[in-house]
Chains A and B, each alone.
Chain A
Amino acid sequence: MKAAVLILAAALLGSPGLAADKPAGEGEIAYIVNGYRYDPAGSGGDPDTGHSLCGTRCNAISADSVDYMMGGGWEMRKLAADREIVIPLDNPFMKGNCICTVDEFLARRSTRNQTVREGQ
């Protein structure tokens, strides 16, 4: 627990430049994943296993819109729908890529409303 505290403390107290320290208006790109496919990219990887692993890999990059809202003062603006992005499978035992179908959002601190939801 101690060690974890240090990481969090570093992230929460120190290091400027992270999202919450940015001025209102700037933001970060967030994806909501709607689908996934495996592309063996010539590696001969098993399609069923690849499909399953790409499920994990693509869903891992999916943001949770409620999570963005509940911290307070953040909003999400949709930039694109059903865009396909390609990411490496990143599995030591299998090569290939994952094609994730995503809705793309710009998540940022709201410029209108800096207050935190009551009770949050």
Chain B
Amino acid sequence: MNAHAGDQVLHHRALAAGLYGSGLPALQELRQSSIAAYAAHGLPETRHEDWRYTDLSVLRTTSFQPRAGGTLAHERERAVLGYLLANIGAERMVFVNGAYAPQVSNLPSVPAGCTLTTLAAAAATHGALLATHLGSSFSAARHPLAALNTALHGDGMFLHLTRNQALTAPMHVACLSAAAETPTAVHPRLLLVLEAGASATLTLSFQGSGRLHINAVTEIVLGAGAALDLQVLQEDSAEGVHTELISARLEQSARLGVHVAALGGHSSRSEVLCQLAGDDASLSLTGLIIGAQKQTHDLTTLVRHTALRTTSQQVVKAVLDARSTGAYTGRVSVATGAQKTDAAQSCRTLLLSSEASMNTRPQLEIDADDVKCSHGATNGQLDAESLFYLRSRGIPLAAARILLTRAFADEVIDRFPLECVRSHLHGRVDGRIAPKDAVEVTA
């Protein structure tokens, strides 16, 4: 370990010492081992195959430091919050720069025996559950940024639903962040434990401004027959980096829907790990990538089919404008004996500019013989004939482009379960398409 790395470890240890969980030895150990894992493996490099399309260079050259304090200082944050509260449901948990903001949160009551609270509060009441599940669903060595989150997350959301219980209304978890004068790091964390037959619908939103590194981790544990729909609205700062890991394990007949909309960040990576560990478990994954300017978005999924008759369906669409780039890596592994696996993935890209680009990589590793695996990818531009048809009926070029782009994106937007999120995304798609009255697009 060189001197710099040694300094970093000391620095991380000092930071971790001030965080929640000091009364929970298991959590303290976990933080220490995560610090060590991050020090050993460091920031993933683009020469690493799994990180080829994620641009983390700014994290190497700039020091992003956690920022204490959870007040809504800025007008913009207040405006964003007001917008979210009005549009995405009343029951919410708000984090400002990673700190819980009770004054603007509104927690629903949960059934007896269930818990919805902060991780810091849960450390005192549900230490055993935290010790069992935090950091247990992914390898710290393979996910150093997620390990960094484990080491340094200051708080987060904890949901525990006991057998057959349900959150009656969709819940919104809002992560609002604003950089201080200096580049700021935030490590949002969620732990969702649904026991057999329990169910919930959650929207996780990220909104940020300034030079931020948002580094989120969501861990999901679904017991037999449990069902969770998670919608992720990633609208982080255009000057920032957004990295995120969603890691789930599903028991028998459990059902998980993960619906990710990646819009924000100068550079973003959303990674979904899902193990279908029980027979008949199923994953439905939706990815909507919208790139503008010089944004890069990377959506990486790893679905492990390790039981009988499990299904995964992944539908991804990217709309890339200007000089943005997108990447979708869909890795599906089917274990020996995981017969009757049904895994499908499709990725379609609309390139609105000749300088935008998309990299699509299906990766199948199949060790069973009786399986159905399919994948398909297309890249295309707005159809010149369709544009002309609309214009010939009097629809101006800019509006025609929006109409066709929306029609393209609708198929994935329609997969988001909540209407309020769908209409929000419609507005975002419309707003993201730069007017180009003077430029003719040719097929």
**A, B co-complexed:** no
